[in-house]
Amino acid sequence: MHQTIPQQTLIDCANLTTREINQKLKALASENIPAVKLLNPAGRHNLAVGITQQIAIAIAGPVGYYCGGLSENINIEIFGDCGWSVGENLMSGTIAIYGNASANAAASAHGGKICIFGNAGPRAGISLKGATLIVTGNVGYGAAFMMQQGCIIVCGNAGANLADSIYDGTIFVGGDINSLGADAKLEPMNDTDWQLLEQELAALNISARDYNFKKVICAKQLYHFKAKDWANY
């Protein structure tokens, strides 16, 4: 996920408000500036939110909530940890986090790819709507809660209630699964699954065959839920 950035514009966040930073990013993207590096982010919330024109953004340090949210055509690299909901409602593009992510990573993301080179907190991939989320470490409880489409790849362990109330989509876990949530089930791995994993992880210099991946999908027992079946929850 490392990118070669041929030309880079620097923005020092130290004396700017978050609104000023985001306005500068949008203005640079509209001028077809290919790459920007943010210095001294200091854990600010809402950085690089709502960017809709193509641009590469490298952030040198930790960020707070919602980094990259509601954006499309972006390529963000975060060299540090990030707060809640990184990539929330991402439409397209990539976000790479070289650190750990807090709760709700990739929440409701419609497209694009979010890679966390570390661990993710609770509810990673909550209500995922089509994006791909890759976590090289572990995910906390409630990952893939109400997932609707897309793919989640976890190389490490998954916490309790994985894929609770999932509608659709596929989850691969290379480590242990604490427990499955309502209407989630294990499905045997097939050749197509391994081809997908090898393709996605080879790009990150990870060998899929080094892990004992398990596949989790929706059991579809609650698609036509009736009150008398409440015990299935």
Q: What span, in angstroms and rounded, lies between the C-alpha atoms of 68 and 10?
A: 18
Look over the chain and give the mean of its residue pLDDT values, rounded to a whole number: 94
% of the chain exceeding 90 in pLDDT: 91
* Residue 1 to residue 190: CA distance in whole angstroms: 27
Return the pLDDT at 6.
Answer: 52
Average the pLDDT over 209-224 and give the result.
Answer: 92
Nearest to 94 by CA among 63, 129, 120, 67: 67
- pLDDT, position 224: 74
State the average pLDDT over residues 22-42. Answer: 96
* Alpha carbons 62 and 44: distance in angstroms, whole number: 8
User: What is the Cα–Cα distance from 80 to 63, expressed in whole angstroms?
Assistant: 7
Q: Give the pLDDT confidence of 82-127 residue by residue, as tens digits.
A: 999 999 999 999 999 999 999 999 999 999 999 999 999 999 999 9
Q: Which two tokens stand for residue 25?
A: 């990013």
Rounded Cα distance between 128 and 225, Å, is 21
pLDDT over 50 (residue 1): no
Closest residue by Cα to residue 59 from 102, 21, 15, 23? 21
